[in-house]
A and B are shown apart, each in its own frame.
Chain A
Amino acid sequence: MIIGEQLRQARMTADMSQEQLAEIMSVSRQTISNWENSRSYPDIERVMRLAELYHLSLDELLRGDQQMVRAWVSATNAVRTGKILALLLLLNLIWTIGIVLFSQIVWLTVVLLLLLVGCIAGAFYLVIKLI
């Protein structure tokens, strides 16, 4: 059973409204509705809190919902991609400063320019990947 269905059933069993659950979880009622209708997924911390609240095991909640697990993996990859993007942007800045400082040394300027082009290409690829 997908997690959305399980969450709805567990909430009904616990005799809670979406508003009450939203208050406990510190999210909006719309977010609870999105979770229960599988329009979006809770993050792993909230899934653990829900499991604790409903006295369900994580295994029960997660088994059968491979799509949510894939969404988590994708979110983790997005965080890592964001860090690499930040690093590339910092490198862009360093290469640019290097070009300005060492503009009289031709070979060094060419090398820094090539590195700058490489970093810009990498940064663009990662931005498109993140969207």
Chain B
Amino acid sequence: MNWLLMILLITLILAAGLLAYLTSQLVALDATARGLAGPKLLAFLAAGSQNGSGLLAYLALRRGHPLDRRKDRPQLRERLKIASIGLFAILLVTAICSVLVLITGN
């Protein structure tokens, strides 16, 4: 069972890293489209939080900054959203499988 657990853990770590990267790209795209200062820093802070509080804080911060359609990239935005949701699903399934392997292994 060790090899299975190792594969699951590696998948978990890769999925988590990629998810953080894609989420930061999405936040950077949105911050640029709304004319917020320091979009990359905002993206790093928003996506880098452990429990999603950064994303919620970003949603509160961006209120009062309407979207500028000239700076927006709707197709890229959609692709990033779909990829983020997909990776989150992979993360969730991998985490559940890891727990099940640990429980059955015991």
Residues of A within 8 A of B (CB): 34, 38-41, 117, 121, 123-125, 127-131
Take A39-B70, A40-B68, A117-B92 as given contacts and tell me if A128 and B52 are in contact as well, using a CB distance cutoff of 8 Å: no
Q: Nearest 10 CB-CB pairs, A to B?
A: A40-B66, A39-B68, A127-B55, A128-B84, A128-B81, A131-B30, A124-B88, A131-B26, A128-B85, A130-B59
Q: Which residues of A contact B70 (CB under 8 A)?
A: 39
Given A41-B66, A121-B88, 12 extra CB contacts under 8 A: A34-B66, A34-B68, A39-B70, A40-B67, A127-B52, A128-B23, A128-B26, A128-B81, A128-B84, A129-B81, A130-B59, A131-B59
Binary A-proximity of B51-70 (CB < 8 A = 1, otherwise 0): 01001101100000011111
Binary A-proximity of B22-49 (CB < 8 A = 1, otherwise 0): 0100110010000000000000000000
Q: Which residues of A contact B55 (CB under 8 A)?
A: 127, 131
A121 and chain B: residue at smallest CB distance: B92
